[in-house]
């Protein structure tokens, strides 16, 4: 996914269909300098992690 699209999804009030390694996730924040996104698993909100924006897939 492109960084700009990840930022749009993170700022949107609507839930987008995004996955990371096959797991449905929610994008909390995008870091412009590191090209990473802070994400959490939709089924386990406590499972937060920082991943490369390139590893996110919008369906």
> What are the pLDDT digits (tens) for 3-36?
999 999 999 999 999 999 999 999 999 999 999 9
Instruction: Look at the block and give the residue holding tokens 């802070």.
Output: 38
Total domains present in the chain: 1
Task: Supply the pLDDT for residue 59.
Answer: 96
- Is 0.85 surpassed by the pTM of this model? yes
From residue 21, give the alpha-carbon distance in Å to each of 8, 33, 39, 57. 21, 23, 12, 8
């Amino acid at each position: 996914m492109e960084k700009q699209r990840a930022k749009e999804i993170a700022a949107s009030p609507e839930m987008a269909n995004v996955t990371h390694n096959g797991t449905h996730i929610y994008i909390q924040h995008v870091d412009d300098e590191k090209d990473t996104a802070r994400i959490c698993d939709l089924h386990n909100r406590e499972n937060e992690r920082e991943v490369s924006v390139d590893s996110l897939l919008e369906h």
